Amino acid sequence: MATIAERMSRRLLTIEPASTLGDASRQMVERNVGSVLVVEGERVVGILTERDILRAFAADAGTSAPLRSWMTHSPETCEPHETMEHAMTLMLHGGFRHLPVVEGDRLVGILSLRDVVGATSSDYAPRGV
């Protein structure tokens, strides 16, 4: 099975923790992505996903609500040299669809469930398809 480095995206959408839900959601819509990585420098401190925005919306938090209040703090991460199987296990057991990729404390990529499914389905696709 492929390594995470082979499948992860290096085109990252990041935002600072002092931002608002409105800032984050607008950027997510512009980039057509389901999450934004919350960073301080090059270090991941959180992640805001579509699910987090839905929770905020259900609680009547407005677009000016602080991102820090709704993001997932200290998200699970993986490293580029690890296997896609490891990432899949983390995602399935953790119940999430986006996994920041770090080298030490430095953010280097993100892996989505779509990346994992693409890797595993190509491994099992019949020949000629």
The yes-or-no verdict on residue 32 having pLDDT over 80 is yes
Tell me the domains of the chain and their CATH numbers: 4-124 (3.10.580.10)
Local confidence band at 2 (pLDDT 50, 70, 90 cut-offs):
confident
Condensed to tens digits (0 to 9), the pLDDT of residues 45-94 reads: 999 999 999 999 999 999 999 999 999 999 999 999 999 999 999 999 99
Condensed to tens digits (0 to 9), the pLDDT of residues 109-129 reads: 999 998 888 766 555 556 555
Q: What is the pTM of this model?
A: 0.88
Strands 14-15 and 72-73: unpaired
